[in-house]
Every structure is written in structure tokens, then in C-alpha cells.
Amino acid sequence: MMTQITIALTKGRILKETLPLLEAVGIVPAEDIFSSRKLVFQTNRDSVRLIILRGSDVPTYLQFGAADIGIAGKDVLLEHQGDGYYEPLDLGIARCKLMTAVPVGAPVQTGRLRVATKYINVARQYYAEQGRQADLIKLYGAMELAPILDLAHEIVDIVDTGNTLKANGLVPCGEIADISSRLIVNKAAMKTKHTEIQAIVDAFQNAVLKP
């Protein structure tokens, strides 16, 4: 009986940078992912299928065994704080930084902070380590608006070029983590499908190491 391997991919920028890596590994979607509304794709390998998810859902699918292998940003993994999967490989794609940002020229807040972010767990840990009291406000997008409209003193968000911050009158402040996309593997699947999964992990390792 053929062993089925399900690989969970993160939609958006990470997906665009993942597909060339997948091709280098020898896994190619049977149809164009970007022109389809499907969420499940067969590949050139009968034993491998791809599922397309929101980044924040990838570790959940891995944790509960709905997918065997996943590709997700380190920011998502830090926030998820889940168990049930290994993180064997940094793929080195979709690089950016997780940072705090404040309005240009804003005075240093000495009292209790209001912080807007979708990274509640990461932010809680970061400000605790800084010894600063912070009320965390969960937002799912348009983080830069929060300081402009006095919803928050600062934000915690992903920073790539910094152009969006600059356009909205913000500047990056504290660096929390360097971010890139990681390969993750379900722990149970690594035991039950070890040969098949290890071969894919090794192929990714070789693809990442190639100049």
C-alpha cells in the first residue's frame, strides 16, 4: 500500500518562494496553484499531495496530524507555541524581522504600554523580558493604524523593507527575532512514515545548501 504524504504550504509570499524549492526537491504541482481556487493539489508524485493554508493554520495541521510536513514562517511558529512537530530545517526564504515600531518622534513611554499586534504570545514574552507592563490589543491587519488613531503606543509586527512603516509615520524600534520560513514535520508521521519523510527532508536540505 502506497504511503501518502501531505505537505502543508503557506499561501502568499512564502508560497511563491517555496515552489522553486519544491521543484528542486522533485515535487511539482499537477496544475497551476495560483490560477486555481482549490486548496488540495496532486503532484507529479502519486504519493505526495499539497494543501494550501493560511500561515497561522499550518502548525495546527501539523500538530494534530492532518499534514505530515509543513512550511511556515518562524513568526507563526513562535506565536503558535505548539507541540507535536519537529523543526528540522531553516529554508532561508521569505526573510524579514519581527520588530516593535513606534511613531516618528514619539516620546518614550515610561508607564504602562498599549501594544497592538497579532503576535500576542510573542509580545507578552518580549515585554515581560524587558520588564515592561503592556496591555496587548489583538489586531489581524493594518497594524500601522493603531498608533495613528491612538489605539496603541506601539506595535509588534513583521518588517521587511520598512516602507509601509515609513509611509504611515512609524519607525522600527526593538528587534524581537530574525524570521525565515522553516520546514516542520509531524512527530508521529516521522516515526510511521520515516523513510519517505526523511527522503523529502534530505532533499530539501540539499536544495537549500546548493549555491
pLDDT at 154: 97
Question: In this structure, are residues 78 and 65 in contact, taking their beta carbons and an 8 Å threshold?
Answer: no
pLDDT at 115: 98
pLDDT at 211: 64
Secondary structure E strands in the chain: 5-10, 40-42, 48-53, 69-73, 85-90, 96-103, 113-117, 134-138, 154-159, 170-179, 181-186
Q: What is the mean pLDDT of each run of 10 residues along the chain (211 residues)?
A: 91 95 96 94 96 96 97 97 94 96 90 96 96 96 94 96 93 96 97 96 92 64
- Domain locations along the chain: 5-94+180-209, 96-178
pLDDT at 1: 72
Shared fold status for 5-94+180-209 and 96-178 = yes
pLDDT at 107: 87
Domain 5-94+180-209 has CATH 2.40.110.10: no
Domain 96-178 has CATH 3.40.190.10: yes
Question: In this structure, are residues 113 and 153 in contact, taking their beta carbons and an 8 Å threshold?
Answer: yes
In one-letter notation, the amino acid at residue 112 is: R
